[in-house]
Amino acid sequence: MTRRRIIAGNWKMNMRGDTAAALAKGLVTAVGDEPAVDVVLCPPFVYLDVVADAIAGTPIGLGAQNLYAADDGAYTGEINAGMLNDVGCRYVILGHSERRALLGETDDQISEKLHAALAGNLVPIVCVGETLDDREAGRTEKVVETQIRGSLAGLDEARAASIVVAYEPVWAIGTGKTATPEQAEEVHALIRQLLGELFTPEVAAQIRIQYGGSVKPSNAKELLGQANIDGALVGGASLKVDDFLGIVTAE
């Protein structure tokens, strides 16, 4: 089946208000009214409303970089799904490798966030991926399988098709290194197989799987040309209009 590509820009902890607005407005103009792919911008929390205003009435979707699983309560510094809805978010990134590595997020916590996101009518972009040590030790398949099964625990078939999975080899994030198209496709195919085991092959065929890890205009065409790669979760290249547009329009 044909899956519509999804290209998401993860701005991480970059930008200020004026540059965030300018970048979003520049992308609105560049992307146009009828992009051939789903385009998502994920700015820092404090600029969600700035970007929401800039993309209002356009096909570009707004996403957050994280959420907390509780509905409300004494959780200083946290943001829940309802709050993200209030500022116009349709997507949320969960389990990014930087949060797993730097903040100790576990698969169980990511699973809780997944269910909170779905309950809040948000599309979760669930990240998985191995470190360089894992890959060199031949543990890629085991690590990715553990993360997929743990992060998607308790997810039923009826909701599964609406999620997005992002495969991000940790060794390729922000390093300038990129998995070859063949390496990326091999893991994407594994993920598709795992999703078929967790749900059904028919459901797995509907789930979009992005690649993330030093994606740029020069390598986007080859990566996105693979059978099981349905888009990209873009870091540094999403901070410049021309670079991000080159990935959005890659064919």
pLDDT above 90 as % of the chain: 92
Active-site annotation holder among 98, 105, 168, 185: 168
Rounded Cα–Cα distance for residues 58 and 119 (Å): 25
Active site residue 96: yes
Question: In the predicted model, what is the mean pLDDT of residues 21-37?
Answer: 97
Kindly report, residue by residue over 80-122, the tens digit of the pLDDT.
Answer: 999 999 999 999 999 999 999 999 999 999 999 999 999 999 9
Q: In the block, which residue shows the tokens 């969960």?
A: 94
Question: In the predicted model, what is the mean pLDDT of residues 184-191?
Answer: 97
* Average pLDDT of the chain, as a whole number: 96
Kindly report, residue by residue over 113-162, the tens digit of the pLDDT.
Answer: 999 999 999 999 999 999 988 988 999 999 999 999 999 999 999 999 99
Kindly report, residue by residue over 166-179, the tens digit of the pLDDT.
Answer: 999 988 777 777 78
